[in-house]
Amino acid sequence: MAPLGIAILGGGIFVQEAHLPALQELGTAHAQILAIYSRSEASAAASVQVCSNFGLGTPAVYHDADPAANLQALLKREDVKAVIVALPITKQGEVVLECLKAGKHVLSEKPIGRDVKEGIELIKEYEKVYKPKGLIWRIAENWEVEPTFLWVKQQIAAGRIGKVQTFSLISINYVSPVGNKWYNTPWRTKPDYQGGFLLDGGVHSAAFLRTVLPSPFVSLAGFATLLNEHLAPHDCIHATLKCADGAQGVFNLNSGAGGYEGGGGTSILGTDGSIEVQHFSKEGKPWIRAVLKEGKKGAQKTETFEHASCGVLEEQRYFVDAVNGKNDNDYGNPRGALEDVAVIQAGLTSEGSKVEFSQLIPKF
């Protein structure tokens, strides 16, 4: 089978540091980058140079300043069968629909949209118009396909810690206004979407819990606050989540912890054991470790699983496989990504009152 012809829409940090290295590892036998688009010619050209450095060829440059080589011109190319969309949050939705309208399969970066309302509108349009045509749209939520997280999901599903009773996810970081490459991206410095970094990064944490827990969330109650003015509108969420099976837990996100050197972690407690998950660095690369303690207290067996973080590679692999009809995987389903946005939106708007997810996301 010939490699899938793809275009990358966006020339920012995550494209250069995550998507391109992952595509190199995926291999040109699976996917070939034919074009890179960015709003500015300089950004697109810089990403093309990175492509060349990785041995991925020299894709064509597309940008807004040239009507003959803008996004619309790119989407007319018949050899481009699929696109990876990595644009600012508030721009992605309209571009996703434009790509689908042009007959392209789409892998778009998380979050699915700026809020639940936009996410629902996008899904409705996709499922009504484009999915029946056989077009694939997936959300690039790499935490949904991290090998360590999938291992945790399997162990819980197999009953190795019994029935899940409680969980605690605490993500503590500090986004400095000085020297932070993510903060210095203009659309992140002054976000025109809810939550700032809590939405941009927090959906990962929501996706992790959605992936590993055996029961969906039904409600949330919590508070959001702003600890650092440079991270407006919010940089901290403290919330409690309840699942349909009665399990409940803590969901705390903090992107403004300037006096903290740790990174938090996740604990999942069951009737017959527990699992703890931590991110760490090994040989200069990010890894994820899970420690399973199986059995009652005092008579537990411990098992450790750890794997290099490779979710971007895996999301690309699953997407290409889905486009090629190789398997019936459902990773990156937009409806799952919508649930992740709902968790963040509920945390931002709860103000101590219970938010029912059945009301936030009505059936459609």
Local confidence pLDDT in tens for the 364 residues of the chain: 789 999 999 999 999 999 999 999 999 999 999 999 999 999 999 999 999 999 999 999 999 999 999 999 999 999 999 999 999 999 999 999 999 999 999 999 999 999 999 999 999 999 999 999 999 999 999 999 999 999 999 999 999 999 999 999 999 999 999 999 999 999 999 999 999 999 999 999 999 999 999 999 999 999 999 999 999 999 999 999 999 999 999 999 999 999 887 778 999 999 999 999 999 999 999 999 999 999 988 889 999 999 999 999 999 999 999 999 887 788 999 999 999 999 999 999 999 999 999 999 999 9
> Alpha carbon of 226 to those of 34, 189, 235, 256: distances in Å?
43, 15, 5, 8
d(CA 292, CA 86): 35
In single-letter form, the type of residue at position 70 comes to: N
Of the candidates 88, 115, 99, 73, the one whose C-alpha atom is nearest the C-alpha of residue 346 is 115
Structure tokens at 26: 């995926």
pLDDT of residue 118: 98
> Alpha carbon of 342 to those of 210, 219, 268, 314: distances in Å?
12, 10, 21, 24
Residue 190, Ramachandran bin (φ over 0: left; ψ between -120 and 50: alpha; else beta): beta
Instruction: Say if residues 72 and 64 touch (Cβ distance below 8 Å).
Output: no
CA atoms within 13 A on the CB side of 44: 25
**Among all chains, which residue has been given the structure tokens 């903090």?**
254
> Alpha carbon of 329 to those of 9, 71, 204, 279, 323: distances in Å?
24, 29, 20, 26, 11
**Alpha helices for 104-146 (secondary structure H):** 116-125
2 secondary structure, DSSP code = P
Roughly how many angstroms between the first and final C-alpha of the chain, as a whole number? 37
Element housing 219 (H / E): strand 217-225
CA atoms within 13 A on the CB side of 340: 31
d(CA 213, CA 152): 9
pLDDT of residue 298: 82
pTM for the full predicted model: 0.96
Domain residue extents for the chain: 4-141+314-327, 144-311+341-360
Architecture of domain 4-141+314-327: 3-Layer(aba) Sandwich (3.40)
User: Pairing state of beta strands 248-254 and 301-308?
Assistant: unpaired
Of the candidates 203, 9, 37, 41, the one whose C-alpha atom is nearest the C-alpha of residue 108 is 9
Of the candidates 102, 137, 141, 143, the one whose C-alpha atom is nearest the C-alpha of residue 122 is 137
Of the candidates 300, 315, 309, 308, the one whose C-alpha atom is nearest the C-alpha of residue 269 is 300
Instruction: Say if residues 332 and 314 touch (Cβ distance below 8 Å).
Output: no
Structure tokens at 339: 């649930």
pLDDT of residue 339: 98
Residue 304, phi then psi, degrees to nearest 5: -115, 135
d(CA 292, CA 289): 10
Superfamily of domain 144-311+341-360: Dihydrodipicolinate Reductase; domain 2 (3.30.360.10)
d(CA 37, CA 187): 18
Task: Provide the 3-class DSSP secondary structure of residue 209.
Answer: helix
